[in-house]
Amino acid sequence: DIVMTQSPDSLAVSLGERATINCKSSQSVLYSSNSKNYLAWYQQKPGQPPKLLIYWASTRESGVPDRFSGSGSGTDFTLTISSLQAADVAVYYCHQYYMTPFSFGPGTTVDVQ
């Protein structure tokens, strides 16, 4: 099974500042035949289901603000919020869809400092 870890567990950032979340998988989620990383990022606010932000590690979902960006390959990935807005306060999860059982990171809580 692929174990996903995230760091930090939580972070507080001033409005307008950058927030960076790291995600690591216990084995590579890069599929060599198509050179795609099977890694997605979700945002979850209280009482709501997770919302897809990023897929293929770096492709932004339609309608997601461009202040959200994803990077990384293999086993190490990063979600960056370039300029934190109040609406971005949430828990963020990384997710590997490379193989079953699919798995998620434990989540990173982002708050305003």
Partner 1 sequence: QVQLQESGPGLVKPSQTLSLTCTVSGGPINSGSYYWSWIRQPAGKGLEWIGRIYTSGSTDYNPSLKSRVTISLDTFKNQFSLRMTSVTAADTAVYYCARSSVVGGTVYWFDPWGQGTLVTVSS
Residues that bind partner 1 (CB under 8 A): 1, 34, 36, 40, 48-50, 52, 55, 61, 93, 95, 97, 100-107
Task: Please say which residue, 16 or 48, places its beta carbon nearer to partner 1.
Answer: 48
**Nearer to partner 1 by C-beta: 48 or 113?**
48
The DSSP line for 55-105 is ETTTEEPTT--TTEEEEEETTEEEEEESS--GGG-EEEEEEE-SSSSPEE-
Least gap, CB of 16 to partner 1 (angstroms):
29
